[in-house]
Every structure is written in C-alpha cells, then in structure tokens.
C-alpha cells in the first residue's frame, strides 16, 4: 500500500485484527482504545499509542473508527478531545461500525463541514478474516475519495464492495445483510435444538445440513462452536441484537414489516435479556435449550 499514516480508534476484536494487518503491510499506525490492554497488543506489533483521538488526528492522514455504535462514534469524533476538532482539512474518517443510516449521514455531514472526508464502510467477516485482509467492506463515498483511499481499503479487505456515493448506503447494505444473518442464525439454532429434541445427534445433523439445502455459512460457523460448548465471544450476542433492531427500525421507516426479521430480532433481544449478551452469538442454541427447560 502507498505510505499513509493511519489511525484506528477501537482495537477490539476487529480493530486489533485490522491493526495487525496494517502493521504487517508496513503502515505507520496509531491506536487508541479505552482498554490499555488492547492498546498494548497493538503497540507490541509496532503501533504507536495516541492519548486521545485528537492526538491521533494530528498525526494520521486517515482514521478508521472501529468502535461499537453510533454513540461511541460520535464521542470519539465530536466529543472532548475528538477527531473533528484536530484533523486537518483533507483528512479522512473510515466509519466501520454498524449503525443507522441516518447516523452515518449526520456524521458525514458534520465532518464535511470541517473539511474532512467520510468513507461509509461497515465491515463483515470476523476477526480472522480481518487479520488476513479477506473480510468484506461495503463502501459508500464520493468517487474522488474512493480513488484516493482505495489502496488502504483494499489492504484491509477483499472484497471491497463499491456500493455507491451516497453516505448511508454502506450502512443500509450492512443492515440488510445482518438481518438475514440474524434470521439464518436463529433458524439454525432452532433446527439443531429440534434435532436434539427428537433424539438426533446434533453434530451429525449439522454434517447433513452443511451438504444439503439448509446450509448457510453462519449456521456452520456458529453451530459447530455451540455444539462443542465453545461460547468464548468472537461476536457478542449484543452485536446482532443491536444490528437486527437497527434493521427493523430501518424497515419501519421504509414502511416495511419483515416478519422473519421481527422474529429474529425479538429472539436476540430475549437472549440478551436472559444473560447471553456477553457470550458469542452461538449461544442462541444454549438459549433455546434453556427455553425448553434443558441445561446449557
């Protein structure tokens, strides 16, 4: 990739994977996270710590925002010590969290007023694919901005999906995708729970599903872990609960009431309320077992 000074705010599972990827490619990298232990992992790989997002903005040409939600994004961009007050005109913010399209549009407008470009670029694929540069990015930004930062985006992701120029269309695409992921995951958990209920071996049933018409990537990925009892969080249940709720809100604003989407979002909300929010979202199988009165 061309020489850029890049910052990443938020070095959780995805942010750290992106940081390690960029360091591997030789990028000058700056990181900031509220958890010093996460920062330390990136610093060990050669990144430099920024004490505040503003300090990062004074060093970096582009800053990747990899926090959880719109509130956190707005805080690091526009709060005390935020990016927007310190970044020079012509800088770029790559907005990766899954947030509402209206939030993306509002953030892009505020940054534009400060002379800062925004790339609406929600991500998908998980930490392992982020680390290898094979996750996907759903990118919406003006053509001139895409041309300038294409090498950075393609260093982080393959494929990079060019959605269009309108801010918010990356977010819209990600919410459509994640609503389907939520539907698929709830359906897979229900199917495996049913298999167990009627006396089938869960792992063998999943073997059949993976080679048959019921197969989906998220079912294979999550149900393998769920059957093994491995709920160490790669993707917390709270994330798809948030994303499916945002998708339902987007649908409602468009005058659409997706029935399966509503059911999936309600299931995720119930799983979080039952205490599974901090678990991997493979915990939906455990949650459905609990609803039937069986142990985890």
Q: Is 242 an annotated catalytic residue? A: no
What are the beta bridge partners of residue 94? 64, 119
19-24-29-32 Cα dihedral, nearest 10 degrees: 20
Structure tokens at 32: 């900031």
Q: Is 73 left (phi over 0), alpha (psi -120 to 50) or beta?
A: alpha
Distance of CA 165 to the CA centre of its chain: 21
Q: How far apart are CA 226 and CA 212, in angstroms?
A: 20
Q: How far apart are CA 19 and CA 43, in angstroms?
A: 10
Q: Which of 174, 225, 276, 289 is catalytic?
A: 174
Structure tokens at 236: 């917390």
Q: With CA atoms as reference, report the closest residue to 163 among 175, 180, 152, 148.
A: 175
Residues ≥6 apart with Cβ < 8 Å to 159: 136, 137
Question: What amino acid positions are annotated as catalytic residues?
Answer: 174
């Amino acid at each position: 990739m061309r020489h850029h000074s890049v910052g990443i705010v938020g070095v959780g599972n995805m942010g750290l994977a992106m940081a390690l990827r960029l360091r591997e490619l030789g990028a000058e990298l700056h990181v900031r996270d509220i958890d010093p232990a996460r920062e330390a992992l990136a610093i060990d790989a050669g990144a430099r710590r920024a004490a505040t997002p503003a300090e990062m903005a004074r060093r970096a040409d582009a800053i990747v925002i990899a926090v959880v939600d719109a509130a956190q994004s707005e805080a690091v961009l526009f709060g005390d010590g935020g990016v927007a007050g310190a970044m020079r005109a012509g800088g770029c913010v790559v907005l990766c969290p899954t947030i509402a399209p209206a939030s993306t549009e509002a953030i892009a407008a505020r940054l534009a007023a400060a002379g800062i470009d925004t790339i609406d670029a929600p991500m998908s694929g998980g930490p392992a694919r982020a680390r290898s540069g094979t996750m996907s990015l759903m990118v919406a930004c003006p053509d001139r901005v895409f041309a300038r930062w294409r090498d950075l985006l393609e260093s982080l992701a393959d494929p990079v999906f060019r959605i269009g120029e309108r801010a918010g269309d990356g977010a819209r695409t990600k919410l459509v995708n994640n609503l389907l992921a939520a539907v698929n995951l709830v359906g897979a958990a229900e199917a495996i729970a049913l298999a167990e209920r009627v006396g089938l071996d869960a792992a063998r049933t999943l073997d059949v599903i993976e080679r048959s018409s019921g197969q989906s990537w998220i079912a294979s990925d999550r149900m393998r872990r769920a059957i093994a009892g491995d709920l160490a969080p790669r993707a917390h249940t709270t994330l798809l609960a948030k994303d499916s709720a945002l998708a339902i809100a987007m649908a409602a604003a468009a005058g659409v009431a997706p029935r399966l989407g509503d059911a999936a979002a309600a299931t995720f909300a119930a799983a979080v309320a039952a205490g599974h929010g901090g678990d991997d979202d493979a915990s939906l199988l455990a949650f459905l077992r609990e609803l039937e009165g069986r142990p985890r």
